[in-house]
Amino acid sequence: MRTSACWGLLHWWSPWIVLQACLSGGASAPHICNSSVIPTQPGSGCSPPLNSSVRSRWSRTRPCRWSRRRASPATRPTISGTSSRSRRSRTSAVRVRRASAAPICQRRLPTALADLRAVTVSAPSSVHPRRPNVSKKKTWSVPRITHPQYPGIIVRVGEFEPGGMLQVFRQVNGRQTSRSLKVRRADLGRTRVQQEQEAQKLGADYIAELMVPKPATDAASASGGTLTFAQLADRYELDGFAGRTGAYKRDALAALRRIGAVLGADTRVADLKPSDVQRYVAHRLEENKKLHIAHRADLVALKIALNWAVGEELLEVNPFAKPGFKKAMPAKPPKEAIRRPVMTRERYEKMAAVASRFPPLFGVLLTLAWETGHRLSAILELRWKDVTFDKSDHAPHGSLSWYTDSPVTKKRHPHRVAMNGRAAETLRCWQKEVPGVGDTPLFPPSAREFAKRTWRKAERAAKVAHLPQGAWHSLRRGWRTARKHLPDVDVQAAGGWTDSVTMNLSYNQADPQTVLAVVNA
């Protein structure tokens, strides 16, 4: 009797309890029909309740006719920012379940109340979904591949990047070397076992190829298949200077032959030792104690030639990569020891005053180098199509186009710069002296040798002391130093520099007048 009375009270008071739970949580009020509570969304009519997984398996309460209507996707209750599927919010940690078509009976009332409170909890809009854990794809390789006949050689077949070309790797004197096999992992087979077996075969074939003796080349056949300093210089002269200038080739070959003369022209390059490097440095300093960088430059040229020989398979490994050579190499000279003389205005005026004693070509080159601030090589490459005497607002005396037909390098890039009145007048006079149009060069091919040969004569005629490394390039340093009070970006554009660091480090020099002005400021 007491149990029946309790269930009766619960039957009449359950709608009021559910209504209070909805109002306290912020949800809409449920419809009450046939002692069943069906929570709905605003404006949805009579939609089914939410909880589907908590229906009691022993509940025999038949659903009401309103609960048989399936709600449209627009009227289904969902949590803001999430779908109606089962999800767990990172902030509330409440699982929301799909709605059910079953009514709420007395025995399901506690669970229904919990579901109604869960519906009222919504995840904040600022919470983003958890990012998936994307793992980086690993490269594939087959390590420790050997050959049965040559067990001392171990190689590895692998990839530089996932899915890329396969490489065969080998350690030579502590350094890893590689060669492309021109195949990919997918080309070796369909299964992992097949791919590993084919990779082992490729590695074994590479080892067998390494052990096949190579025929001696013509350059190395004279000394039993070994490369000597004389043979290195000969091969390097024939094949090692593609795309290099004549001056670079001349200086590099002279350095190699100087080293060969001291260490022995028939000495094997592979037998080079750190003591040989020290012996050559001592010999060069004994000849000229004022050397600052020449002996180091010779050794750097030798290192470049040996790297080329390794690439051409004339040499197994560069001797400079062995231990001990780094300490034997002479250190770089300090910045104060590097000679970068600057042409001053007084020195320029003295040399310009005696320019009339020489052919007109010298005076033209001297004036253009001082007024434009460009290299002698850039001036000698000018053609008449690069000279424009047309006046404009930004070029009242005309303009010059530099490096129009030259490949772009760190020192050369095409650019057009206005010229001043003195440079324009000099070019007009030179055009009358040597007429030309279009692709005709302004100066003859022999102008470079003439300029270098006449420079020392002009110094003696002007009675000025010769500055070591202070020939034509000192004019470019003087042009930059005379314009140190102007913005760097404008000086860089007018002088043709590719970056301001090189311009300020190598060309902008201190002068006594500016230093005194700084002190007195």
Cα gap 240→451, rounded to integer Å: 29
Q: What are phi and psi of 217, to 5 degrees?
A: -80, 170
Higher pLDDT, residue 413 or 70:
413
* Strand order across the 175-184 sheet: 141-147, 150-159, 165-172, 175-184
Q: Is 227 exposed, middle or buried (0-12, 13-18, 19+ CB in 10 A)?
A: buried
116 vs 14, 67, 94, 104, 308, CA distance in Å? 13, 17, 12, 12, 80
Query: ∠ CA(214), CA(218), CA(223), 5° rounding?
Result: 85
Taking only the tens place, the pLDDT of each residue in 40-59 is 444 444 444 444 444 444 44
Beta bridge mates, 400: 387, 417
Q: Give the per-residue pLDDT at 107.
A: 52
Asked if the model's pLDDT at residue 218 lies above 50, the reply is: no
**Which CATH fold would you assign to the domain 345-520?**
hpI Integrase; Chain A (1.10.443)
Domain at 226-337, CATH from 1.10.10, 1.10.150, 1.10.3470, 2.40.10: 1.10.150
Q: Give the per-residue pLDDT at 331.
A: 78
Residue range 165-174: mean pLDDT, rounded: 86
Token output for 399: 């303009």
pLDDT confidence bin for 457, thresholds 50/70/90: very high
Residue range 263-289: mean pLDDT, rounded: 88
- Helix axis angle, 360-372 relative to 447-462, nearest 10°? 90
- Cβ atoms within 10 Å of 428's Cβ, excluding its own: 14
> Where is mean pLDDT largest: 14-18, 154-158, 506-510?
154-158
Q: In this structure, are residues 256 and 233 in contact, taking their beta carbons and an 8 Å threshold? A: yes
Asked if the model's pLDDT at residue 182 lies above 70, the reply is: yes
Query: Nearest to residue 372, comparing CAs of 409, 413, 411, 401?
Result: 401
383 three-class SS: strand
- Helix axis angle, 360-372 relative to 421-433, nearest 10°? 150
Point out the least confidently predicted range of 66-80, 297-311, 334-348, 480-494. 66-80
Beta bridge mates, 178: 169
Cα gap 121→19, rounded to integer Å: 16
- Mean per-residue pLDDT of the chain: 77
Q: What is the torsion angle, in degrees rounded to the nearest 10, for the CA atoms of residue 108, residue 109, residue 111 and residue 116?
A: 130
Q: Give the per-residue pLDDT at 10.
A: 52
What percentage of the chain reaches a pLDDT higher than 70?
69
Cα gap 172→170, rounded to integer Å: 6
60 three-class SS: coil
38 three-class SS: strand
Asked if the model's pLDDT at residue 99 lies above 60, the reply is: no
Q: Is 423 exposed, middle or buried (0-12, 13-18, 19+ CB in 10 A)?
A: buried
Taking only the tens place, the pLDDT of each residue in 470-505 is 899 999 999 999 999 899 999 999 999 988 888 888
pLDDT confidence bin for 469, thresholds 50/70/90: confident
Residue range 302-324: mean pLDDT, rounded: 87
Q: Give the per-residue pLDDT at 431.
A: 92
Cα gap 369→479, rounded to integer Å: 9
* β-pair type (165-172, 36-38): unpaired
Token output for 292: 């600052």
Asked if the model's pLDDT at residue 29 lies above 60, the reply is: no
What is the sign of the dihedral through the CA atoms of 33, 39, 40 and 41? Answer: positive
pLDDT confidence bin for 387, thresholds 50/70/90: very high
Q: Give the per-residue pLDDT at 323.
A: 81
Asked if the model's pLDDT at residue 88 lies above 70, the reply is: no
Q: Which regions of 75-233 does DSSP assign to beta strands (E)?
A: 141-147, 150-159, 165-172, 175-184
Query: Nearest to residue 337, comparing CAs of 395, 378, 287, 292?
Result: 292
User: Is residue 19 within a helix (H) or strand (E), and if so which, with residue range?
Assistant: helix 2-25
Is the pTM above the cut of 0.85?
no
Q: Which regions of 293-345 does DSSP assign to beta strands (E)?
A: none
Higher pLDDT, residue 151 or 43:
151
Cα gap 255→277, rounded to integer Å: 13
Helices (H), 381-486: 421-433, 447-462, 473-481
Residue range 179-206: mean pLDDT, rounded: 90
**Domain limits of the chain?**
2-120, 141-210, 226-337, 345-520
